[in-house]
Amino acid sequence: MIPFLACMALVASIYHLPPRVLPSIQAIEGGRPGTISNDADGSQDLGVMQINTRWIGPLVAYTREPASQVRARLINAPCYNIAAAGAILKTYLAEDRGDLMRAIGDYHSHTRQLNLSYQSQVIQAAEALFVRVHHHD
């Protein structure tokens, strides 16, 4: 069961992302509405897609909403959070010249080893979510 699949499908279509990417990332992030996770660097990861608080500034600039409202919506509004995740992935895709797997890794970390590790976790999640195993008797 994939939470908020309708929002993920809509966001994927808006940002021209493969439809399985956001559910696969969410499976690794494991966030829910209301989830706030503290990171070692003092930042926090918020909501369904665990959006890092470093993104609040860019989102404020984009939405022209006050930071407190952006933060509250990232924490509590699942579709808003998922839309932010789509925008972030699209940003990384542009940075990475269309390299989807690298962009997915960047969602977690720009440090090479952490990036590659996250890519493989997301691939495994995608396989678990979407690959049907056929058994033949």
Which residue in the block uniquely carries the two structure tokens 């952490």?
Answer: 114
CB-CB contact of 52 with 79 (8 Å): no
pTM metric for this prediction: 0.91
Residue pLDDT, tens place only, 35-90: 999 999 999 999 999 999 999 999 999 999 999 999 999 999 999 999 999 999 99
6-32 average pLDDT score: 96
134 has a pLDDT exceeding 70: no
Give 38's strand partners. Answer: 44
pLDDT score of 73: 98
Contact 107, 25 (CB under 8 A): yes
